Structure 1
Amino acid sequence: MLSPQDDAEILSNWARHFREHYIDDADLSFMAGGTGLSHADYLRTTLLPDAKVAPGPSLRSGDFGEIIVADFIEYFLGYWCPRELRYQDRWNRNDSTKGCDVIGFKFANEDNPDPSDELFIFETKSGMSATASHRLQNAVDDSIKDRLREGMSLNAIKRRFFDRGEIGDARKVERFQNQADRPFRRINGAAAILDDAVFDEIDLAATDGAAHFNHANLRLLVIRGPSLMKLVHALYERAADEA
């Protein structure tokens, strides 16, 4: 259950957390420089998904869902989840990033590969409007495609680290690129981030993962809360206004 407190400091910290998925605060002055725009206007017109023009609002809700799930597996389950590069490298603020939605890594031994190391790949679906379909089943079905997207997504993350000279992190991703030579445990996940009104209309018990290629290691997650789209817009507007 997602029930944020009406606390200005908490909301400001949360908004900054979202903003820094799109640009590091330390880089904002330089990147906005020369545009003639304030930090807030630069974020609204260049980096953050649009609040009103489609597909901006749906992209906001989708990004929100991905970030919430990434936070969950990182801070509650203990996975390393490098996700900012997924959003910072976008060329079009209103175009979603392709590939696996959320990828987490867990290492039994930081120095050497271990068969108990884990690769956790999540497909997320947000449902924040009355017309939303069975988003958890949608997530399960689309998670099947991660079998093909996994290799390309790992390569993209590794490449981004390499381009930034962060070779140590690139090597950590590389550890999961050849399961035959370096065995590890693969876990797949399907998550639905739902407004309470949508949650009440979905029969979650009917969700079927039998056709999933990794059904024995398929984890389901539902995050729900009231007026989620209102919360999403409030966080993005605060992220821009307080930059």
Structure 2
Amino acid sequence: MPWTSEHTKWLVDTGERLKTADGKAVEVWEFCHVQDDTVLSAWAKHFRNHYCPDTDIDFLRGKRSRSDYLTDIKFPSKTTKLGPGIRAGDFGEILVSDYLQWFLGYWVPRVRWSSKVVRDESPKGSDVIGFRFHKKDGDASTKDVLFVFESKTKFTSSKINRLQNAINDSAKDHIRIDESLNFIKQKLFEKREIEQAQKIERFQNPVDMPYRETYGAAAIISDECFNSDELASSDCSKIPKSSKSKEFFPHPNGDSLVLLVIKGPGLMDLVHELYRRAADEA
């Protein structure tokens, strides 16, 4: 796949650290994007290939133009009720995938977005999963790491604490990890990427060969929606048992939980421009 990391030069650690209500540190990064057509075009191609590989588009599009196929069939809609929110969510997940791969050095399979049946829905399962092998030859080691990230976005004004939402969803990841791993392995197998599919198998049997697990919760927030006090009210020790329950429990992986906020100017406009460019330049 033509993955590129050029756009990640715009992602910068501010050095700022917030504290949650229960004392956990929150890293604050800034996405300082600029109008650079070369970088934006490369990024748009990278982004497009999450939904449909350039090698497949001419077979799949039928009589439609490439742009119309991507805009009307594959990409979340810009104009429907749910579409813009799904666009924002997908953008956040892909950006967190890039962060996990190019800043933290994990292998992050990109199979989630191309597998959608309904374009204005989010796929089930954990948002972003990365793998790190301690040994270069890929042999199993107890120092191998599985990293599971939940991602939420906030590009329009609301009173919802999206970091808390990501934390709450992250608390469920240990329950659904088996299904998420099977999904990744199955999709890689269907694409006949057999060696990569076999790598997933190492993480499907932690009893015989344990590995380390790390969990993360990320909020990607447009500058106009950024509220440090709101984010600092997040609490990893009080996860609601359900949306209607008044009972709470601590995050089951709180000791390994990484908290991340990425903020930047005009992110919703950037999202729409990225989808437009991805379609028009196909």
User: TM-score normalised by the shorter chain: which range applies?
Assistant: over 0.9
Q: Does 1:25 align with 2:54?
A: yes
Counterpart in 2 of 1:231?
A: 270
Distance 1:103 1:112 in 2: 19
1:206 to 204, 228, 233: 233
Distance 2:223 2:193 in 1: 41
Counterpart in 2 of 1:165?
A: 192
Residue identity in the other structure for 1:111: G
Distance apart, 1:94 and its partner CA: 1.3
Counterpart in 2 of 1:90?
A: 116
SS of alignment partner, residue 56 of structure 2: helix
Distance apart, 1:117 and its partner CA: 0.4
SS of alignment partner, residue 204 of structure 2: coil
Q: Report the structure, 1 or 2, having the larger strand content.
A: 2
SS of alignment partner, residue 55 of structure 2: helix
User: After superposition, what is the alpha-carbon deviation per residue over 1:125-175, rounded to whole angstroms, capped at 9, x for unaligned?
Assistant: 001111151111111011111111111000111111122222211111111
Counterpart in 2 of 1:105?
A: 131
Structure 2 matches for 1:1-243, cutoff 5 A? 1-32=30-61, 34=62, 36-83=63-110, 85-109=111-135, 110-131=137-158, 133-200=160-227, 202-210=229-237, 211-243=250-282
Distance 1:93 1:130 in 2: 24
Do 1:134 and 1:202's aligned partners in 2 also have CA atoms closer than 8 Å?
A: no
Distance 2:273 2:138 in 1: 42
Distance apart, 1:29 and its partner CA: 1.4
Unmatched runs of 5 consecutive residues or more in structure 1: none
Q: Which moved more, 1:9-18 or 1:156-165?
A: 156-165
Identical counterparts, % of pairs: 47
Distance apart, 1:202 and its partner CA: 4.5
Do 1:123 and 1:140's aligned partners in 2 also have CA atoms closer than 8 Å?
A: yes
Do 1:144 and 1:212's aligned partners in 2 also have CA atoms closer than 8 Å?
A: yes
Unmatched runs of 5 consecutive residues or more in structure 2: 1-29, 238-249
SS of alignment partner, residue 87 of structure 1: coil
Distance 1:111 1:209 in 2: 34
User: After superposition, what is the alpha-carbon deviation per residue over 1:53-81, rounded to whole angstroms, capped at 9, x for unaligned?
Assistant: 02111000000000000000101110000
Q: How many residues align?
A: 240
Distance 2:117 2:131 in 1: 26
Distance 1:202 1:170 in 2: 43
User: After superposition, what is the alpha-carbon deviation per residue over 1:1-48, rounded to whole angstroms, capped at 9, x for unaligned?
Assistant: 01112111111111111101001112111211x3x2111011111100
Distance apart, 1:86 and its partner CA: 0.7
Distance 1:107 1:75 in 2: 15
Distance apart, 1:199 and its partner CA: 1.1
Residue identity in the other structure for 2:38: E
